[in-house]
Structure 1
């Protein structure tokens, strides 16, 4: 068995004295593990850092074997990411989120979204919104996606302000007013067609976005016995909050 393709390093763990087991998110084969011979060498270690993109060749005698990776560097972004508080926290959180996905199942849209996030995660004006949308994409691929197209109660597409925790569908401001305390706030930047930059978002928007995605990820986690990323999300939000306060004090409340 053999395949070649691109992949982003998620984690590594020691295997014996010289080798590592590499976990990647690949473009065509999803989350995949394999052995890298000599992965703990001085030459290989800088390449096998989380966030780096590699050209991969995976080989195994049988399809259900761990197999071995041969690697070539493609985009070595890890150094820049690890110098940033958001970058470091974001790498850890993204790895946990992707570990919710079944192994060896292709998620091409999610791989594309991962690349976009990693390319912009250190930019305060884009990182928060991209990370929240990435969580929404994870939920979609898990079969637990949210629906912001129209109000669950009335069918209107106007003034959507809440999300029902039961149906995961949007609710308009008027229809949701009597149940305000039981619904989740829907920040407007997540609505279809909305693409505000981070500099235009208040911290309340960001906080509500993460609380929304976190609620449904935590519920999926409890129902399926998967890690939800609650701890790494908390660390990421703390890093984002600090960066956001420094970059956009006028929008911080």
Structure 2
């Protein structure tokens, strides 16, 4: 096995005294793990930060063996880890991707989406400029893994307009007229996920609540559940930032 590709660093775990097992996300070959010798050295620690882009080279004698990985830096976002809100967003998006995706399966749309979100976090001066993009990425991940939400028509009436809610069971949109009397049992559907455009903070938090429900129910279960702690930290910091 020999692979050389640009990749986004998703997760780093200590292995032995000096090494690290690193999971990286490539566009054409999906998530690829590898053992980096000296991964916790002073030279490599800044390179192996989640959200950084690296040029990775994986080598293994067999497909079952954990590949040896060497990395060269391409683009660093390490400075953002000193900013609490941006750091929480980077941690969550990388932790979600690392926990949710199977290894060695290509998800080019997700790779491009993740790169876009990370770039938005890096470029935007205010969280509101990237928080909506993060919600859209969560929605894309659900869809790519087979748990997409049907936000085009009401699951009750079939109507394509006046959509204001989502069923927490089916993931289908519900019109406001069909939701009368049942609003408390449904999840709000923010307009920016339905129609595009900008989003205010109330809509962003509605979007986070919506995608968070289905991520917790369908994706981040069993051994993947601990990744949700990173999302809780992010939501708490966003709430404090806008309070």
Question: Structure 1 length normalisation: TM-score?
Answer: 0.88
222 and 233 in structure 1: CA distance in 2 versus 1, 3 angstrom threshold: closer
CA distance in 1: counterparts of 2:162 and 2:220, whole angstroms: 32
Deviation at 1:14, TM superposition (A): 2.1
Q: State how 1:208-227 maps to structure 2 within 5 Å.
A: 208-221=206-219, 226-227=224-225
Match of 1:149, SS state, is strand
Partner of 1:37: 37
CA distance in 1: counterparts of 2:228 and 2:18, whole angstroms: 33
Is the contact made by 2:85 and 2:237 (CA closer than 8 Å) also made in structure 1?
Answer: yes
Paired positions, count: 239
Partner of 1:195: 197
Q: Does 1:139 align with 2:142?
A: yes
210 and 102 in structure 1: CA distance in 2 versus 1, 3 angstrom threshold: same
Match of 2:225, SS state, is coil
Is the contact made by 2:51 and 2:94 (CA closer than 8 Å) also made in structure 1?
Answer: no
Q: Does 1:207 align with 2:214?
A: no
Is the contact made by 2:154 and 2:163 (CA closer than 8 Å) also made in structure 1?
Answer: yes
Is the contact made by 2:143 and 2:149 (CA closer than 8 Å) also made in structure 1?
Answer: yes
CA distance in 2: counterparts of 1:46 and 1:108, whole angstroms: 26
Deviation at 1:135, TM superposition (A): 1.0
Partner of 2:89: 90
Deviation at 1:178, TM superposition (A): 3.0
37 and 229 in structure 1: CA distance in 2 versus 1, 3 angstrom threshold: closer
CA distance in 1: counterparts of 2:144 and 2:18, whole angstroms: 36
Is the contact made by 2:55 and 2:71 (CA closer than 8 Å) also made in structure 1?
Answer: yes
For residues 151-181 of structure 1, give each alpha carbon's deviation from its aligned partner in whole angstroms, at most 9, with x where no partner exists. Answer: 1112221111000112111111111113212
Q: Does 1:234 align with 2:232?
A: yes
Q: State how 1:164-203 maps to structure 2 within 5 Å.
A: 164-191=167-194, 193-196=195-198, 198=199, 201=200, 203=201
Is the contact made by 2:49 and 2:78 (CA closer than 8 Å) also made in structure 1?
Answer: yes
Partner of 1:130: 133
CA distance in 1: counterparts of 2:218 and 2:170, whole angstroms: 13
Q: CA RMSD in A?
A: 1.8
Is the contact made by 2:58 and 2:70 (CA closer than 8 Å) also made in structure 1?
Answer: yes
Partner of 2:28: 28
CA distance in 1: counterparts of 2:220 and 2:27, whole angstroms: 28
Larger CA deviation: 42-51 vs 214-223? 214-223
Question: Structure 2 length normalisation: TM-score?
Answer: 0.91
CA distance in 1: counterparts of 2:226 and 2:156, whole angstroms: 29
Deviation at 1:224, TM superposition (A): 6.3
